[in-house]
Structure 1
């Protein structure tokens, strides 16, 4: 009886310990950073997606010779608003994804540290925390990314007229309803498998970012959680994003193609084989230059906004009282 009472008494304490590490400030700061970078750089995201799905076989889609050509063609054919197709789900997606990611990541990281933010974790544990946060975030946000991709790939009114009504979307909610009605849950989770592989992208990025911050603070002989300057955050965010993007970009091409309503692949492996057969290695890196042009400043904006907003919000938090 004593052991049962002891077990019953200690279990709630373990749960409280885990949940005590959840801080809403990371969620708000992550959302702020994601929304800010998305509103500024959405046109580059749209162009990156269109480059990624251009397999050279589908002649009905526009052909762009480069970034300048893409911007000019889109404005001529679709007007300036064409550069912001899919911006609503992108704002929702980026805001929620960054918010949840930072929330989950910092919760997991703090739990591993035992609540001591000055305790270094090392590369492996940083990657583990980031990978777990990435999987949780992907499960919650994949439907939004499917909608964003499809809205970005509605090229013009002429293109829409060639598609069945079930693949013509008036907006984010209309797309969610139609995809669910015609393709079910599976349709909302297209690209999920390569997205799982893409978790390695976030893991590499956060590991590199955290390790650079820690090494820099160790070099300065200050605690690893010491706040840095804007220039330092910008530099570390840019370098970490370049490393992760160069290493994991092919999954983004496969994911975008699986989510494209103009193509019909049997699955991830079929998409990989057909990309390799018709386009070779270069096919897996289509849109990379545009992607780097977009994601590097986007990450810099996101991380700087996140670090400063989270620091500001957390400054109001009182020291937790003992339970």
Structure 2
């Protein structure tokens, strides 16, 4: 639970910090200036890359701890008693590269946030324009929740495969030679559906989460 809390909390905090800073810079401080799809994606992608650099080690630890089994026959150096023990052992045995396993597919995963926030911002922008409202208008809770859920669904369908590849690369029970080898083996043994394993429970888990996160974000940052 601890790495998950650290990972999610720090990731969202850093992401919104970077995202809002980049947006403000592009808009030159004028929040009523629409960015458009391209610049929304650029801002979200840049924020995602910066966040990934800061949080990837935490996600490696989370994955390793979640994939430990009681009857594991792995060496003691690959068994972890907690978050700090995992960080220490991974760094000692595998070095910095061990803490950044899954970073390459994680970079592809930046597209998830970019797509999600582009769709989210464009839905808000088009909605306010359609009703003749200012771009920074405060909307209703239901409207924010609808935009959040729709943008998450769009991003998940388009980018979920990277999460499967990333998790498999970070799993100490697999011995993939790299991202392309993992992709090839998944396709070879499981076909296209292998890249969408766990999508339904994933959506059931993340949809309420992202709706709540974006609702809180809007309520605290949008002063109408």
Please give the TM-score of this superposition, normalised by the length of structure 1: 0.68
The answer for the alignment partner of 1:193 in structure 2 is 104
Relative contact order, CA 8 A, sep 6+: which one is greater? 1
After superposition, give the CA deviation of every residue in 1:241-287 in whole Å (9 maximum; x if it has no partner).
00000001110000000000111111101111111111111111111
The answer for the alignment partner of 1:45 in structure 2 is none
User: Where do 1:131-142 residues align within 5 Å?
Assistant: 131-142=45-56
Gaps of 5+ in 1: 1-86, 316-323
Q: CA deviation at 1:185?
A: 0.3
The answer for the alignment partner of 1:15 in structure 2 is none
After superposition, give the CA deviation of every residue in 1:10-63 in whole Å (9 maximum; x if it has no partner).
xxxxxxxxxxxxxxxxxxxxxxxxxxxxxxxxxxxxxxxxxxxxxxxxxxxxxx
Q: Specify the SS of the correspondent of 2:68.
A: coil
The answer for the alignment partner of 1:211 in structure 2 is 122
Q: CA deviation at 1:309?
A: 2.9
RMSD of aligned residue pairs (Cα, Å) = 1.2
Following the alignment from structure 1 to structure 2, what is the Cα–Cα distance between the partners of residues 128 and 229? 27
The answer for the alignment partner of 2:20 in structure 1 is 106
Matched, 1:233 2:144: yes
The answer for the alignment partner of 2:9 in structure 1 is 95
Q: Specify the SS of the correspondent of 1:154.
A: coil
Matched, 1:244 2:176: no
After superposition, give the CA deviation of every residue in 1:62-87 in whole Å (9 maximum; x if it has no partner).
xxxxxxxxxxxxxxxxxxxxxxxxx1
After superposition, give the CA deviation of every residue in 1:173-210 in whole Å (9 maximum; x if it has no partner).
11100000000000000000000011111000000000
Following the alignment from structure 2 to structure 1, what is the Cα–Cα distance between the partners of residues 49 and 184? 25
Q: CA deviation at 1:95?
A: 0.7
Q: CA deviation at 1:140?
A: 0.5
Following the alignment from structure 2 to structure 1, what is the Cα–Cα distance between the partners of residues 130 and 60? 43
The answer for the alignment partner of 2:218 in structure 1 is 307
Following the alignment from structure 2 to structure 1, what is the Cα–Cα distance between the partners of residues 216 and 60? 26
Q: CA deviation at 1:221?
A: 1.4
Please give the TM-score of this superposition, normalised by the length of structure 2: 0.97
User: Where do 1:1-323 residues align within 5 Å?
Assistant: 87-155=1-69, 157-159=70-72, 162-311=73-222
Gaps of 5+ in 2: none
Structure 1 stretches of 4+ with a deviation exceeding 3 A read none
